[in-house]
Amino acid sequence: MAQLIKRMQASGQDLHPAGFVDDNAGFHGRVIEGLPVLGGTDWISNHVRDHSFVCAIGNPKSRQDLVRRLSPSSLQWATLIDPAVRRSDDSVIGEGAMVCAGTWMTTNARIGRHTIVNLGCTLSHDINLGDFATLACGVHLSGNVTIGEGAELGVGVNVIQGITIGEWSVIGAGATVINDIPPRVTALGVPAKVVKEHR
C-alpha cells in the first residue's frame, strides 16, 4: 500500500500519507516504508475528521471485520488506484478498494468496496467483483465473470468466460476455473475442483 501511494504521489496526485495504524503495540513508534506507525485502531477515533483511511489487511474476512467495526464512525475511506492501471471510462471502483500496477480492466468492470486487486491482473468485459474480494498477483478473468463477496483468488488463477465464484470461497494458486464454484469452499487444481467446505 505504501508503494502504491508513493506511485500515486509521483504521478502528481495530491496525497499526504500520515502513517500506519496497527493494533500490534510492538510496531507503535516504528517507521515502516518511510511512514510512522501511529498507534492502534483507537488512534482513528481521534483523527476521523483529519484523514481518509484504507484497510490494507490481506485476509478478506479480517478486512471486513475491521471495516464493520469502524463503520459506525464518520470515517472516510480512500480508494487507491495505481497510475499504471489501464481501465475504461465506464469502470466502477468502490470506496476503500486498492488496484495495483499492471492491472488492465476493459469495459463494464465493477470492483466492490474494500476489494484488493494485486499486481498484473487482467479483468475482461462485464466483470463484477464483490465487496472485500481479493485477487492475488497475476489473476486473469475472462468476460462475464462474477466473484462473490470476500472470495479470494490466489496467484496466477485463470477463470474462463461466464463463471461465478461464490462468496467467501478460496481458489488456490495456479488454478484454472472452468465451472462455477459454490460459496464458502476451497477449490484447487487444473481444472479447479472443490476440496474443502467452509462453515
Residue closest to 101 by CA, chosen among 121, 84, 80, 78: 84
What sign for the dihedral angle of Cα 23, 24, 30, 34?
A: negative
Specify the 3-state DSSP secondary structure of 186: strand
Residue closest to 35 by CA, chosen among 21, 48, 24: 21
Specify the 3-state DSSP secondary structure of 193: strand
CB-count exposure of residue 65 (10 Å: 0-12, 13-18, 19+): middle
Look up 125 and say whether it is catalytic: yes
Of 51, 125, 140, 198, which residue is the catalytic one? 125
- Active centre residues (catalytic): 125
